[in-house]
Chain A
Amino acid sequence: MVVRQYNEELKYLEKINPHCWKIKKGFQPNMNVEGVFYVNSTLEKLMLDELRNSCRPGMTGGFLPGVKQIANVAALPGIVGRSVGLPDIHSGYGFAIGNMAAFDTSNPKSIVSPGGVGFDINCGVRLLRTNLHEKDVQPIKEQLAQSLFDHIPVGVGSKGIIPMNARDLEEALEMGMDWSLREGYVWAEDKEHCEEYGRMLNADPSKVSLRAKKRGLPQLGTLGAGNHYAEIQVVDEIYDKFAAGKMGLERIGQVCVMIHSGSRGFGHQVATDALVQMEKAMKRDQIDVNDRQLACARINSVEGQDYLKAMAAASNFAWVNRSSMTFLTRQAFSKQFKLAPDDLDMHVIYDVSHNVAKIEEHIVDGKVKTLLVHRKGSTRAFPPHHPLIPVDYQLTGQPVLIGGSMGTCSYVLTGTHQGMTETFGSTCHGAGRALSRAKSRRNIDYKDVLSKLEGMGISIRVASPKLVMEEAPESYKNVTDVVNTCHAAGISKKTVKLRPIAVIKG
């Protein structure tokens, strides 16, 4: 890493408009393209403070600041356009979380990097609507939260209640949500309203280690720990009545359920296995990167292809996982209200992935190109009329589900044409961490966090209360800042704001 004074570093950064900064070439060595990041004044301060801290003498080790990570990604072989940092960006393994980058598949040197996807492969958010009103739910909120907690196992080491054997898992890895559909856990309409229709076709379970499968098998249908959660939310504000109507969100107070989860230990193992393979491939193909954590392999190499096939299987795992939890949520509601899920209108509004790499077509310098788009902590946000979004959202643009931190609000956005041209149809994914987990544990008391949530009228069920402070709102950036920045920058559009009334988490 280049070591310079903070003032020197600033010369490489240029504010090109109130919500966007450019990172010029030379900020880090060998940058093939420029970097860019989106912020408002509050987030801008966080970004620059992080950089200033890293410039202090003696600050070595640990994660690089987000801006540096964006620039390192811009130095990867085959990258096109710009290395994009979204407003919720924070340091991660290799790639910052909230960094998207696209690589030209027609360039033989282009790479795929597990660090650009993240360890929780196809972590994502799914939103279910209901026809209930807040006043229907408030009186039995506690029972409902308990019922969800009983149906959906949470926490580290939790095990699911949907019986599965090894053969079922193999099929699920290959078929994704089609498996859930075949077995009757979800509705046909759920598949229609899911990114990629809930199935990556290039998945190949034979490229997944036995270890990953062993870790994954008992975990299907479990929420996991960390920042994952299931929340009962109510519509708090509607910004775009037309788009909200298309999603079936018609009125303030309407009850929804948000599920935020991923591929659990399965995805983690796939990523870990791949990193080992990639180190070998880098030596062989003489791929130079600025940061050891940016381990990667050429897209067309055996290692690159094996990773993409295993990653697709992990993505399918995550969709089956969220589908199983959809089934369990419907059961929990159905029991409480003594009505069929159909009668409660419990449709999936949409399901987004925010840790994934996908082959997509984009226009680069006036030409259509096939790119491998890495989105790590970044959500796809395709504009109206894009062929890959469901027919119901052709006029509004793709729904983008932004889960807030625990106890704060969440948002539904839609994709825009401007986002398509500026960020390869990508936007933010959530609040984004401000404090590290260790720092949160040191600075915040879990009892304070729980009593604060209680004070806000939010029912909460947690498996491990002592980890709650890691997820306290204070540990995160303000999701409203993040979302407003994306809206003001034009890379996505605000549709609906949701407020939690009950949370279950690991």
Chain B
Amino acid sequence: MNNIFKLKLTALGHPNPVGFNSEDEKEYRSVVLWLEDQKIRHYKIEEREGLRNIESDKWKDAYNTYQRDLVSPVVEGTLNEQLNWLLSYAVRLEYADNVTKYKDVKVEQPKQSAPNVVSSNPLDNLDFDSPAFKAGVERICALTGVGPHSDPKVRLSAVAKILKTAPHPDFPKNEFNMVQQPVDVLKLLFIQDLRELQTKINEALVAVQTVTADPRTDTSLGKVGR
């Protein structure tokens, strides 16, 4: 939660977003006051007295009233949830005040906020323009005898075509392990996938059998030959 608070406070231009500790009652109260004074400005200045008395026992009552006046949906929630809503509300107001300024802003790194689970397959994230990729393509092209082309992707698809239609090229002895080991790993992963698929096929067959199967024998038909 603190991380979200930090981001929102930074966005709102709070003087000390990094040092803010929501667990500290005093700091919490002063941020609420700062939000009302600087950003939300729901009350007239003289009406903000209740919130301004940070040291007072009556502050909590004033805070509750304030939230009800703002129609906050989380009045009954935890202190953190309450503050989070206030911060979001303030950000919304800030945006509404300066729509023209903010509407064209693009998010620079969308993956930063989401956990990195989607890209578990490294092949999805291949950077086709990276020097490492180009150098790798250069090397397999040399091994498979694929000629030069300005686009490494074109060369890679040529390699794929060769590997599909012709026997695999022999690798130089010193390259052997470097090529063989990853190939072995890929083969094992493939076998694992295949086993899962076959198991599902078998399960489907068994499910059908429960409907269709009726094996019978009739020994009276049997006849032993000469």
- Chain A residues in the interface with B (C-beta under 8 A): 149-150, 153-163, 181-185, 188-189, 191-192, 218, 222, 225, 327-328, 331, 363, 366-368, 385, 390-392, 394-395, 463-464, 506
Contact = CB atoms under 8 A, between A and B. Distances in A.
Given A182-B208, A184-B214, A391-B195, A161 B226 contact: no
B120 interface: no
Given A192-B198, A328-B217, A391-B198, A363 B167 contact: yes
A184 B221 CA distance: 19
Nearest 4 pairs of A and B residues by beta carbon: A184-B213, A155-B225, A158-B225, A159-B223
A163 B224 contact: no
B215 A394 contact: no
A157 B224 CA distance: 7
Contact of B216 (A153, A163, A189): A163
A464 B226 contact: yes
* Residue of A158, A391, A394 with highest tally of chain B CB at under 10 A: A391
17 contacts: A150-B219, A154-B224, A156-B225, A157-B223, A161-B221, A163-B217, A182-B208, A183-B212, A183-B215, A185-B215, A188-B202, A188-B209, A225-B225, A363-B167, A390-B198, A391-B194, A392-B195
Given A188-B206, A192-B198, A368-B166, A157 B226 contact: yes
A234 B175 CA distance: 46
Contacts of B203: 188
Contacts of B167: 363, 366
Contacts of A463: 224-226
A385 B191 CA distance: 9
Contacts of A184: 209, 212-215
B45 interface: no
B218 A163 contact: yes
Contacts of A331: 217
Given A160-B221, A184-B214, A395-B191, 4 more contacts: A155-B224, A182-B212, A184-B215, A391-B195
Contacts of A188: 201-203, 205-206, 209
Interface residues of B, number: 29
A243 to B, nearest CB: 15
Given A182-B209, A363-B167, A394-B194, A159 B215 contact: no
Contact of A155 (B165, B191, B194, B226): B226
Contacts of A183: 212-215
B182 interface: no
B15 interface: no
B194 A163 contact: no
A158 B224 contact: yes
B224 A153 contact: yes
Nearest to B194: A391
B187 interface: yes
B222 interface: yes
B213 to A, nearest CB: 2
A153 B222 contact: yes
A233 to B, nearest CB: 23
A188 to B, nearest CB: 4
B187 A385 contact: yes
B198 A368 contact: no
B61 to A, nearest CB: 70
Contact of B202 (A189, A366, A385): A189
B205 A181 contact: yes
Contacts of B218: 161-163
B221 A159 contact: yes
B183 to A, nearest CB: 10
Nearest to A149: B224
Contact of A161 (B165, B166, B198, B222): B222
Nearest to B223: A159
Interface in B158-196: 165-167, 187, 191, 194-195
B215 A161 contact: no
Contacts of A156: 225-226
Contacts of B222: 153, 158-161
Contacts of A154: 224-225
B119 to A, nearest CB: 28
A14 B209 CA distance: 56
Nearest to A387: B194
* Residue of A149, A162, A367 with highest tally of chain B CB at under 10 A: A162
B122 to A, nearest CB: 23
